[in-house]
Amino acid sequence: MTTTTRDWLLSETPASRMQARLGRSYRVFRALLRNPLAVVGALIVIALVVLALFAPLFATHSPYAGELTDRLKPPSDAFWLGTDELGRDIWSRIVYGARITLAIVVLVAAIAAPIGMVVGAVSGYLGGWADRILMGITDIFLSMPKLILALAFVAALGPGIENAVIAIAITSWPAYARIARAETLTIRNAEFISAVRLQGASAMRVIVRHILPLCTSSVIVRVTLDMAGIILTAAGLGFLGLGAQPPLPEWGAMISRGRSFILDQWWVATMPGFAIVIVSLGFCFLGDGLRDVLDPKSGNRQ
Amino acid sequence: MTSAISLRGVSVSYGETPVVEDLSLEIAEGECFGLVGESGSGKSTLLRAITGLAPDWTGGISLFGQARGKSIDRRFSALCQMVFQDPYGSLHPRQTVDAALSEPLTIHGIAGADTKVPAMMAACGLDPRFRFRLPHQLSGGQRQRVAIARALMLSPRILLLDEPTSALDVSVQAEILNLLKRLRREQKLTYILVTHDLPVVSFLCDRLAVMRQGRVVEVADVAALRANTMTHPYSREMVARSERRV
């Protein structure tokens, strides 16, 4: 049964659109499995998603309520990763914090990547004044340090997760616009683009149906590699008190609270720090693996 | 009778550089007209101007008596299509044959892709099993067949061929030329064939024009090419060079 499914997926002569599409995804998936680091990265990311989705099942205590008598307990059987200064279980808070981290990462990617791709593709395809104006705006955003710009936006919009997401998205789309524009410039004069133009396709149709699909793989790779940076920026905002507000169990904010006890109760700041490092590494590994599989410039396409 | 393609005093330039200068030609319906000349003589540029891909031209271009504007519009797309030189570059690398062939129908709002695509594939000698393959799973000759099928999806009356066989192996070239010959007969197409390959011209064309540095130096019947009775010294030189190579 499994072999027949595999043969069906790898068939050189797919009989339907669906089969052709599934077959392509399956080939990418198999290529990814051959890269051990990518598998590790994917497992970490999957673990993060599972933890976030089923947080109540994995948490041993409430992430918000704690007994003051249990404050600053070291890791033990009852409190796997210890407790913080209000007696809350750090493991449970990290588990619930995965939801916040995942939400930030997904929302930023969902806002920034499409904006960047559309701006880049339109700018590269139309050229001329449109290109100069759009790329000028992109350059302005690109020239400012990410965290500082995010800080300025959060300061203006007020602290909170939603504003942190908006601020991070505003600072991260220019990189995707640059990539999409570069890709567009290499393909805009290709004969297959001339061919669809000859058929009478509008500029909008050429960009959406023929150019953007060719930009997606490099943007996906870049977004995955940027996830670590997004998580760190979100944690940085949280640490500075401008991201998630107490009592939300955001990892950066947790480190910030633990800073006061770092010498005597090291686990309070260290445990969420580990969480950030592991998840960032996971996204980096996965991004590297995806680049090897998807990036058209890496040569070994299948 | 109005000509299928009528060019009156057409000049094309890329920026400041003139590429085609003051060129006039009349091509009758059903004719296959060869444009020959060495690289840089402006023959491909002329094709791009006729299709609308090179909008920087002056003069008059009309197809079946209708003057065309500088930009691409759908009425002329349905009348006149083009097959490109490089079958490796003219197909979208992420689109299946099916997607490439359905696209013109979708753009023009024509229904029935599910019957029209297999029918056109059959007409162009493509196995139905190739329908959901990607370009990289096809050979050069098969790709060129897909490109020809795509150009014919809108049932144009004029097909512009920009060196359609020069990127292919000799044996595959012959297949594609036979296919083009058959399609022209079956669908009553008018061809302009750009090439530097004189045997291809004598196989497929009725008349030819020799171009040099953006100008037509001679228009002749293909019989004159075969009998080597062309009058202009440059044409004779070209024929002589071509024979030496063979």
Rounded CA-CA distance A223/A275 in Å is: 20
β-pairing, B158-162 with B80-83?
A: parallel
Cβ–Cβ under 8 Å, residues B79 and B155? no
Cα–Cα–Cα angle for B107, B108, B110, nearest 5°?
A: 110
Q: Residues A30-84: pLDDT tens digits?
A: 888 888 999 999 999 999 999 999 999 998 888 888 888 888 888 888 888 888 8
Facing residue for A201 by CB, picked from B91, B107, B130:
B107
Whole-angstrom distance, CA of residue A196 vs CA of residue A202: 9
pLDDT in tens, B135-155: 888 999 999 999 999 999 999
The rounded Cα A286 to chain-centroid distance in angstroms is 11
Identify the residue among A192, A209, A210 best suited for mutation to test binding to B, counting B beta carbons within 10 A and taking the highest: A192
Q: From the candidates B44, B51, B72, B92, which should be mutated to test the interface with A, based on the most A CB atoms within 10 A? A: B92
Contacts of A16 in chain B (CB under 8 A): 132
Sole residue written with tokens 């000799």: B170
Could you state, in order of their start, the residue ranges of all structural domains in chain A? Answer: 39-298
Least confident of A11-15, A56-60, A286-290: A11-15
Q: Give me the amino acid identity at B222.
A: V
3-class secondary-structure state, position B102: helix
Instruction: Measure the CA dihedral A8/A14/A19/A24, to 10°.
Output: 90
Helices (H), B108-211: 113-123, 140-152, 170-187, 198-204
The H or E element containing residue B221 is strand B215-221
B245 pLDDT above the threshold of 70: no
Report strand pairing: B32-36 vs B190-195: parallel
Inter-chain contact B96–A17, Cβ cutoff 8 Å?
yes
For B44-74, the pLDDT digits (tens) are: 899 999 998 888 889 999 999 888 888 888 8
Query: How confident is the prediction for chain B on average, in pLDDT?
Result: 90
Query: Which ipTM did the prediction report?
Result: 0.89
Do A200 and B86 lie within an 8 Å CB cutoff? no
Dihedral sign computed on CA atoms, order B59, B65, B69, B74 = negative
Architecture of the domain spanning A39-298: Orthogonal Bundle (1.10)
Find the distance separating the first CA and the last CA of chain A, reported in whole Å. Answer: 25
pLDDT of res. B181? 93
User: CA nearest A213 in B: which residue?
Assistant: B94
Q: Residue A194 and residue B100: Cα distance in Å, rounded?
A: 13
The number of C-alpha atoms within 13 Å of A33 and in the hemisphere containing its C-beta is: 6
For chain B, the residues whose C-beta falls within 8 A of a C-beta of chain A are 51-53, 72-74, 77-78, 81-82, 84-86, 89-96, 98-99, 103-104, 107-108, 129-130, 132-134, 136-137, 147, 150-151, 154
- Residue A223 near residue A294, CB atoms below 8 Å: no
Question: Over the Cα atoms of chain A, what is R_g?
Answer: 23
For chain A, percent of residues with pLDDT exceeding 70 = 96
**In 10 A of CB A47, how many CB atoms?**
14
Question: CA A100 from chain center: how many Å?
Answer: 13
A19/B52 Cβ within 8 A: no
Are the C-beta atoms of B107 and B72 separated by less than 8 Å? no
- β pairing state of B57-63 and B5-14: antiparallel
Q: From the CA of B239, how many Å to the nearest CA of chain A?
A: 30
Chain mean pLDDT for chain A: 88
pLDDT digits (tens, 9 = 90+) for B169-217: 888 999 999 999 999 999 999 999 999 889 999 999 999 999 988 899 9
Residue from B10, B102, B107 nearest B55 by CA = B10
- The Cα A268–Cα A93 span in angstroms is 11
Structure tokens at A289: 């693996």
Q: How far is B67 from chain A (nearest CA, A)?
A: 17
**Residue B126 near residue B142, CB atoms below 8 Å:** yes
CA dist B58 and B45 (Å) reads: 13
Contact in structure between A74 and A267 (CB atoms under 8 Å):
yes
Q: Please, which pLDDT band fits residue A300 given cuts at 50, 70 and 90? A: very low
Say whether B147 and A205 touch across the interface (CB within 8 A): no
Query: Which CATH code is given to the segment(s) B5-89+157-245?
Result: 3.40.50.300
Cβ-contact A244, A196 below 8 angstroms: no
Pairwise CB contact (< 8 Å): B72 & A16: no
Domain boundary assignment for chain B: 5-89+157-245
Nearest CA in chain A to B89: A191
Chain B residue at shortest CA distance from A15? B132
Choose the closest CB to B51 out of A12, A190, A198: A198
pLDDT in tens, A133-178: 999 999 999 888 888 888 888 889 888 888 889 989 988 999 999 9
Query: Which residues of chain B make contact with A301, given a CB cutoff of 8 A?
Result: 136
What span, in angstroms and rounded, lies between the C-alpha atoms of A238 and A232?
10
Quote the CA–CA distance of A223 and A82 in Å, as a whole number.
34
